[in-house]
Copies of this chain bind each other. A is one copy, B any other.
Amino acid sequence: MSSQLPRSPLAPAQFPALPEIDGISLYVASAQIKYQGRDDVMLMLAEQGAVSAGMFTKSKTASAAVDTSRAALATGASRAIISNSGNSNAFTGRKGAASVASYCAVLADRLDLPAEQLMVASTGVIGEVLDARLMIDAFDALLEGQASWHQAAQAICTTDTFAKGATCQIELDGVQVTLNGIAKGSGMIAPDMATMLCYVGTDAAISQSCLQQLLSRAIDKSFHCITVDSDTSTSDSVYAMASQKAGNRPIDSLDTDSARTFEAALTELLTELAIQVVKDGEGATKLIKISVSHAADEQDARAIALSVANSPLVKTAIAGEDANWGRIVMAVGKSGALIDRDRLAISIGGITIAKQGEPVEGYDEAPVTAHMKGQQIDIGIDIGQPDGAGHACIYSCDLTHGYISINADYRS
């Protein structure tokens, strides 16, 4: 975590207690790639028989790490992810790819795994080749002993002001199944695919195909519903590993109660992590929840919610605790969605401020102003389309001087 930045005012009081996951081990070390005096390398390793899934940035300038992980997943036998913070090794061409190949070969040898099965996650500055030697020199310390989920969560941070973790337990076939997740990310956060680094470990018995499909669905309902600054990283990825150790009957079809229970838990886990990421949005002082109802369809609802969530004028008004709903109307209007101005209703903190295209008669700003002073701002937008079934919920954060300070001065 950044030592220069104050902890987000929205941070949880402490890192949650994450239990160990049978069959999955974590390791951390300090390679001093960029950060001094802290761990910056993390290895997540599952025992033989585990399955892995992943989803990656849609960026057309994806990093060497993302290329490598995609290929490793395609082997169907990946069970290890080597991760570093401080350098994303993105846009580093052949030299960057050669660096990854070089340290992966060494690590694979140490782990007695085929190198092509190793997944790689890197985050940090773009355009500087990651020095493979720094990684390789850290492997001795890395493999010395296991780390906790909390230590792993700390090692993957960059400008994060707090480590992010969540855990969830469910019962499948009479046995307890655990899902743990850790994540990093606070800038370059936008929907359109995996918007930071996230690692999920579970002892569930589940097929690779089911894990991949359920991961994809859960991301749609969690990480794809958050935005900090509308920017999309070249590196960001969500990984899941299932060790198969819990003793449940293996989930090998999506059309089962077990699959549905697992999906609900995974979605809850990722949503909790996604909200933590927004709460650590660079400079964020307020979490913004934007709920759109009665749009023509889901796609319109999502477009409207994102237009509001990403509007600099809405985000700065909220930073200023100003119930400037006119800017919300503006952002709805520019969304490109089907809007009938004179059916539109806007609420803040549950209080309807405007309906049928005009301010509510006798509307009193005081209770809304009080809501604006809180740490979570709820914006409701009812599009009022007759028979409009489109609903969406997007989380964002305010845009403050802190965002400018971090990003105008700091080379991430």
Interface positions of A (Cβ within 8 A of B): 57-62, 88, 90-96, 125-128, 187-188, 190, 192, 229-234, 310-313, 316-317, 319-320, 322, 324-327, 329-335, 337-342, 344, 354, 356-359, 399-401, 403-405, 407-409, 411-412
Contacts and interface: CB of A to CB of B under 8 A. Distances in A.
8 contacts: A58-B334, A60-B341, A90-B330, A91-B359, A231-B311, A234-B330, A312-B407, A319-B408
A382 to B, nearest CB: 14
What copy number does this chain have within its complex? Answer: 2
Given A125-B326, A231-B331, A319-B404, 8 more contacts: A57-B333, A58-B334, A92-B358, A96-B358, A190-B334, A231-B311, A232-B334, A403-B404
Given A320-B409, A330-B126, A312 B92 contact: no
Given A229-B312, A312-B229, A127 B411 contact: no
Contacts of A231: 311-313, 327, 330-331, 334
Closest 5 CB pairs of A and B: A126-B326, A93-B358, A61-B333, A320-B408, A316-B407
Contacts of A316: 403-404, 407-408
Nearest to A331: B231
A399 B60 CA distance: 25
Contacts of A356: 93
A403 B400 CA distance: 10
B329 A126 contact: yes
A372 to B, nearest CB: 12
Contacts of A405: 401
Nearest to A228: B312
Contact of A344 (B61, B330, B338, B400): B61
A199 B330 CA distance: 22
A91 B334 contact: no
A399 to B, nearest CB: 7
B59 A334 contact: yes
A62 B333 contact: yes
A308 to B, nearest CB: 11
